[in-house]
Amino acid sequence: MRVGIVLADDRGMLGNVCAHFGQSTNFLIIDVAEDNRNIQKIMNIPNTIQHGSGGCLVVDEILKYQITHLIVGGIGMGAKQKFVARGIKIFGFQGTAKDGFDLLLKDSLGDIQPCKEGGANGHNCHEQRGLL
């Protein structure tokens, strides 16, 4: 299993899950052993793609890392559809990457409904910096 977590900062496992997928500043990529318990590798990768209208290129960027699961605070319909078409399992979570990852391993994260307004009006991942 390879888990992608979109972050609002660059603090790795202690970082905050970004409230909106397209506005993430970093991707945390975690390789998990087949037993779904042991972490094999963790990569914190800066997201250099700017979110813009149409196509959501951030999806294509994180897909380069061959993730099988995604943890995100919020996501638009177009981005969600691109992940679903690739068979990526998407989970919604607000809090630290570590807490979200731990819940994923316990099979305690749920699906996420797409945002109706994308990144507009109050849906800014940078507001999540204070969550712990």
Task: State the 10-residue block means of pLDDT for the chain, 132 residues long.
Answer: 96 95 93 88 91 70 96 91 95 97 93 64 41 33
pTM of the model: 0.84
Q: Is residue 68 part of a domain?
A: yes
Asked if residue 115 is part of any domain, the answer here is no
- Residue 12: count other Cβ atoms within 10 Å of its Cβ: 17
9 falls within a domain: yes
Quote the domain boundaries for residue 105.
Answer: 2-110
Q: The domain spanning residue 74 has which CATH number?
A: 3.30.420.130
The C-alpha atoms of residue 14 and residue 106 are separated, in whole angstroms, by: 19
Bridge partners (DSSP) of residue 70 are 4, 90
Half-sphere exposure of residue 34: CA atoms within 13 angstroms, side-chain side: 0
Would 123 be classed as within a structural domain?
no
Partner residues linked to 5 by β-bridges: 28, 71
Count up the domains in the chain and report the number: 1
